[in-house]
Structure 1
Amino acid sequence: MPDLLVADLSRWQFALTAMYHFLFVPLTLGLSMILVIMEGAYVMTGKEVWKRTTKFWANLFGINFVLGVATGITMEFQFGTNWSYYSHYVGDVFGAPLAIEGLMAFFLEATLVGLMFFGWDKLSRPIHWLVTFLVAMASNFSALWILIANGWMQNPVGADFNPETMRMEITNFMEVIFNPVAQAKFVHTVSAGYVTASVFVLGISAWYVLQGRHLGLAKRSMTVAASFGLLSAFSVVVLGDESGYALTDNQKMKLAALEGMWHTEEAPAALTLISLPDQGAQKNHFEIQIPWVLGLIATRSLDGEVEGILPLVAIAEDRIENGLIAYDALQFITDDPANLAARETFETTKQDLGYALLLKRYVEDPRTADADTITKAAFDTVPNVLMAFFSFRIMAGIGILCIVIFSLAFFFISMKRKVPRWFLRVALFTIPLPWIAAELGWVLAEVGRQPWVIDGVLPTFLGVSSLSATQVIMTMVGFTLIYGTLAVIEISLMLRAIKAGPGGRILPEGVTSEGPTGGRPVQFDV
């Protein structure tokens, strides 16, 4: 029987390290592209103000990049330390994209980032811009391969279980690469990173304007952030819709859970705007719905059906029973590899083997499970509905708010040519919101996949290493202390760099470089 406490603690530890790492990823992705835009303006105009602007944001990118690399490497080590059976079972598939990410993207990024920082006086303007562009591309390619690996966990295509090795093995690597779930997650995640960086640049620049400091840098930075951020915010919504469409075919239970949809509705299904899901009672206590919207988003049609949680549980129960046939046949193959009848039976039922493994939570041998245990295991396929439901809505609400913020910024800067001080304050206090949305997006993706570490293939509780709860707790405490220290260092470095500005010198309290702007709107003539 698996140690469920170790499994839960290992999940908490991975969540801690992954969510901490993901604080740095969106800003790295977005700032790298903003640097390309700003340095491109310097290459085309030759104005030193664009060079100073690019170098200032590059310093913040560098601080963030270093912490992202350090926390990312630590996170990957856990596949061997805390999730060794997972690594054994699916390592042939999961390890390939991560290896390519290291060889193709990370090494390129790590090599060129030095040239980007120290090559300003050694490279021509176009060549240095090319280096910056390649750093940005490497950052995005790094995200691509990692999300291909994660997308395979959500939708395991291009691989098959080999009864000889008792492992999943690649059968079609192109299917792994072009997995529709992975591609949808990539473009959505990258766009969210662009929004995060744009809000960050907009907010810090607004603070400079409010302080009457570095106005040349601030105005140009706000102009770039408003334009790039508006396009990115619209992309997040459109590509998020594409991610929802991908769930319809590949992760129906996750879609039903994030919508709090217990029963299959008549097509086209309504979108639940707000509700209070009760997983124990298997119902929602109140609902405000928008007719037809969910059906249109999820199926792109008026007659497509979105299945509810309880009908999907009934399907899971059938798949568990079919998986028991595969499990039984696999035991015969293990005892007698030449048993052709068992192999034929296994080939026709192996797609449901993972569902039979859900029973190992309750019994040593799944074949001994009774009907009540099978039903209980079928209900285990329902993720935390309340968490998925509200994670999605808060994330989506922040996305819509970002569109409003960027639309106002674009209107004030590009059309009115002046920005009121109240909006500058709003922009400053908006800075944390994209990070909250990004973290909730990760929570939705990972919680919504439960109880699977590989959807439909391997239950999470079976993927852990043979560790004691004490060992996991000790390492978790260690990670918390180390990451807490790194957080203090990172925030201190970022705040110091922001206070110093492009000149690299922190001014005495109350002293500004260009004078206060008073209560009047700030003119934008860049």
Structure 2
Amino acid sequence: MDLDIVALSRLQFALTALYHFLFVPLTLGLSILVAIMETVYVMTGRTIWRDMTKFWGLLFGINFAMGVATGIVMEFQFGMNWSYYSHYVGDVFGAPLAIEGLMAFFLEASFVGLFFFGWERLSKVAHLIVAWLVAIGSNFSALWILIANGWMQNPVGASFNPQTMRMEVTDFFAVLTNPVAQAKFVHTVSAGYVVASIFVLGVSAWYVLKGRHLQLAKRSMTVAASFGLAASLSVVLLGDESGYLSTEHQKMKVAALEAMWKTEPAPAAFTAFGFPDQRTRETHFAVHIPWLLGLIGTRSLTTEIPGIDDLVHRAELNIRVGISAYDALQKIREAGSSGAVPESAKTIFEENGPALGYALLLKRYVDDPRKATPEQVAQAALDTIPPVWQLYWSFRLMVGLGMFFIVLTATFFVLSARRRLDAHPWLLKVAVFAIPLPWIAAELGWIVAEVGRQPWVIEGVLPTAVAVSNLGAATVLATIGVFTLIYSVLFIIEMKLMLGAIRKGPIEHGTPSRPGTDARAASALRRSSLAAE
């Protein structure tokens, strides 16, 4: 990809979004886990659960603060690097973000302070309510952001106004209840719960291996394994729903995920393995599972899933229809000042307006889409194919990691039920080394969702190449360097604070131990490990 303004703007947004998303899933999941632990404390009165709440709550607070700091940049980029996007759809996209800031974030931020400083000032029940309000605020914040993002994937409840040249809301309830947004929300928050569960499980396993804070660690592992198993299963089920909706609203994304170049007879086979080649439009050494894609994507045996070649042909037809809409739009705008808009232009735009975005794909090659050559039309149609290789492997790695999380959490769930969490030290080591894997899966999921809709910044409405600001490439490149430096410093601070808190460990009041207890426990665990080997 050439380092033009579009590529650099996309690179900057990808870097800042991927970095910000390192903090979001852990915030979502830890907020719920901490609230669950405090609920147990209030119900049982056992102070060890209060110690657990405070310890994991401290890690939540560190992560929350970093998430806020990195998220601010995301808001400014819309106006700085994507000004035409902000102009084109600001009326629609801005509303959920504004509501998120006014309702969800203020709720979350207001009660975070009470959570940390209200232990001695609030009653048990009042502090528990605060903990749950923090958790609800965190997840509510994700809801509004994903409503905005879901609209970009499936733009409902809005229409284009030829007089203002902007998308305007026609049905805000349709924006709120967008099925793609709802599926993305539950899938994303479930992934966040998995991230937090594996994090708590891995850190607790490290304590058990070291023979430290054993009672607190084992209880934390029990909560994390139970919650993580439910969340891991939910991610798979809700991911299936997202796939079904993508088949309906984002057919090219589904075809690219499967490297399905030709339309197959229903029900389509699932490509379990292969090496897609976008240049030759074939998948080498492909291993197919009959019927599976058709069942997952359409939930039927008779509905056809179109291949990439057919979808490119459809895109070319839509581009030609969009050119008619673009021509009618120019006539409407030219006559706008006089008010004498030709009825024929109105009629043509009303009929062909939904394809206007496809005509804008030609802006990459020619200023006036009406002057595009057949070769440029064909090339613009080919541009509707996203990076197949990148999507194909990102999706499969994400799914593979999801299956691993189910096995891991199920294993520790069974061990917890049998009270044998420390029976297999090698499993504890697996849990420790698994800590970064949910983040990798979450980042891969982001790539699948966002890269999969390219070349659209808003599916079928506004191409990415048209949405950027009129900035110099050197300016964007300089800001990428500055953001990279700032984020690197923030990452070092985050890791130092988190690792420092983990090494220090929780302050326990509920299960005081005699001097040497933890050391003797560690020695016993090492002896059992040697015996097992």
Q: TM-score range by the shorter chain?
A: over 0.9
The answer on whether the counterparts of 1:418 and 1:521 sit within 8 Å (CA) in structure 2 is: no
CA contact (8 A) 2:412 2:421 kept: no
Q: Within the alignment, does 1:130 sit opposite 2:129 as a pair?
A: yes
Q: Is residue 493 of structure 2 the alignment partner of residue 494 of structure 1?
A: no
Asked whether the 8 Å contact 1:56–1:502 carries over to 2, the reply is yes
Give the residue type in structure 2 aligned to 1:414. A
Paired residue for 1:107? 106
Q: Which residue of structure 2 lines up, in the alignment, with residue 461 of structure 1?
A: 465
Number of matched pairs? 514
User: Mean Cα displacement is larger for which, 340-349 or 400-409?
Assistant: 340-349
Counterpart pick for 1:443 among 432, 443, 447: 447
**For the structure 1 residues 457 and 418, does the alpha-carbon distance in structure 2 shift closer, same or farther, using more than 3 Å as the test?**
closer
Q: What one-letter code is carried by the residue in structure 1 that aligns with 2:230? A: L
| Cα gap change, 1:501 to 1:270, in 2 (>3 Å) | same
Structure 1 residue 503: Cα displacement: 2.4
Distance apart, 1:66 and its partner CA:
0.2
1:270 aligns with 2:269: yes
After TM superposition, give the deviation of residue 340 of structure 1 in Å: 2.1
Q: Find the partner of 2:477 among 473, 476, 495.
A: 473
Give the secondary structure class of the aligned counterpart of 2:11: helix
SS of corresponding position for 1:503:
coil
Tell which deviates more after alignment, 80-89 or 512-521: 512-521
Cα distance in 1 between the residues matched to 2:389 and 2:237: 25
Residue 326 of structure 1 deviates from its aligned partner by 0.1
Tell me the equivalent position of 2:26. 27
Shift of 1:73: 1.1
Per the alignment, residue 390 of structure 1 pairs with 393
Partner of 1:259: 258
Matched, 1:518 2:509: no
- Inter-partner Cα distance in structure 2 for 1:141 and 1:256: 32
Give the distance between the partners of 1:514 and 1:224, measured in 2 at CA: 25
Does the C-alpha gap of structure 1 residues 348 and 292 become closer, same or farther in structure 2, counting only changes over 3 Å? same
Distance in structure 2 (CA, Å) of the matches to 1:41 and 1:397: 34
CA displacement at 1:418 relative to structure 2: 4.0
Deviations 1:218-255 (A, max 9, x none): 01100000100000000000000000000011000000
Matched, 1:291 2:290: yes
**What are the Cα deviations for residues 153-192 of structure 1, in whole angstroms up to 9, with x where unaligned?**
1111110000010000000011111111111110000000
Q: Equivalent residue for 1:220?
A: 219
Q: Distance in 1 between matches of 2:235 and 2:29?
A: 13
Q: Which residue of 2 aligns with 1:250?
A: 249
SS in 1 for 2:59: helix
Partner of 1:403: 406
Contact (CA 8 Å) 1:421, 1:520: kept in 2 or not? no
Show the 5 A alignment for 1:56-67.
Answer: 56-67=55-66
What is the distance in 2 between the residues matched to 1:322 and 1:286? 38
> After superposition, what is the alpha-carbon deviation per residue over 1:64-92, rounded to whole angstroms, capped at 9, x for unaligned?
00000111111111001111110000000
The one-letter code matched in structure 2 to 1:518 is L
AA aligned opposite 1:323: G
Task: Spell out, residue by residue over 1:417-473, the C-alpha distance to the aligned partner (whole angstroms, 9 max, x if none).
Answer: 343111100100000110000000001111101000011111101111111011001
8 Å CA contact 2:187–2:238 kept in 1: the answer is yes
Q: Which amino acid aligns with 1:299?
A: T
Q: Work out the CA distance in 2 between the residues paired with 1:225 and 1:201.
A: 6
Aligned ranges for residues 335-346 of structure 1 at < 5 Å? 335-337=334-336, 338-346=341-349
Q: State the partner residue of 1:279.
A: 278
Give the CA deviation at 1:372.
1.2
Tell me by how many angstroms 1:520 deviates: 5.3
Report the secondary structure of 1:273's partner residue. strand
Q: Give secondary structure in 2 for the equivalent of 1:518.
A: helix
Partner of 1:508: none
User: Does structure 2 retain, via aligned residues, the 8 Å contact 1:214–1:514?
Assistant: no
Q: Is residue 361 of structure 2 the alignment partner of residue 358 of structure 1?
A: yes
* Matched position secondary structure for 1:519: helix
Q: For the structure 1 residues 512 and 94, does the alpha-carbon distance in structure 2 shift closer, same or farther, using more than 3 Å as the test?
A: farther
RMSD: 1.3
> 1:148 and 2:151 equivalent?
no
Kept after mapping to 2: 8 A contact 1:39/1:50: yes
* 1:377 aligned partner, one-letter code: A
Alpha-carbon distance between aligned partners in 1 of 2:115 and 2:107, rounded to the nearest angstrom = 12
Q: Which amino acid aligns with 1:324?
A: I
1:365-388 deviation digits (Å, cap 9, x = unpaired): 111111111111000000000001
CA distance in 2, matches of 1:348, 1:304: 27
* Counterpart-to-counterpart distance in 1, 2:527 and 2:467: 60
Look up the match of 2:323.
324
Report whether the alignment pairs 1:425 with 2:424. no
- Say which of 370, 382, 390 aligns to 1:379: 382
Aligned-pair distance for 1:344? 1.3
Q: Displacement of 1:518 after TM fit?
A: 2.7
TM-score by length of 2: 0.95
How far residue 30 of structure 1 moved from its aligned partner, in angstroms, is 0.2
Change (3 A) 1:442 1:123: same
1:211, 1:512 within 8 Å by CA — same for their partners in 2?
no
**Residue aligning to 1:507:** none
Aligned-residue identity in percent? 63
Structural mapping, 1:182-197, within 5 Å = 182-197=181-196
Q: 2:231 is matched with which residue? A: 232
Looking at structure 1, the residues matched to 392 and 401 of structure 2 have their Cα atoms a distance apart, in angstroms, of 15
CA-to-aligned-CA distance 1:278-317 (integer Å, 9 cap, x gap): 0000111111111111100000111111111110000000
Instruction: Indicate the larger mover: 204-213 or 264-273.
Output: 264-273
Quick check: 1:40 aligned with 2:43?
A: no
Query: Partner residue of 2:240?
Result: 241
Query: Separation in 1 of the partners of 2:211 and 2:67?
Result: 32
Instruction: Specify the alignment match of 2:10 in structure 1.
Output: 11
Distance 2:238 2:428 in 1: 29
Distance 2:205 2:136 in 1: 28
- Whether the 8 Å CA contact 1:4–1:461 is kept in 2: the answer is no
Give 1:4 deviation, angstroms: 7.4
- Structure 2 residue runs of 5 or longer lacking an equivalent are 509-515
d(CA) in 2 for partners of 1:512, 1:428? 23
Cα deviation for residue 36 of structure 1 reads 1.1
Bigger Cα displacement from structure 2, 415-424 vs 97-106: 415-424
Instruction: Name the aligned partner's letter for residue 492 of structure 1.
Output: K
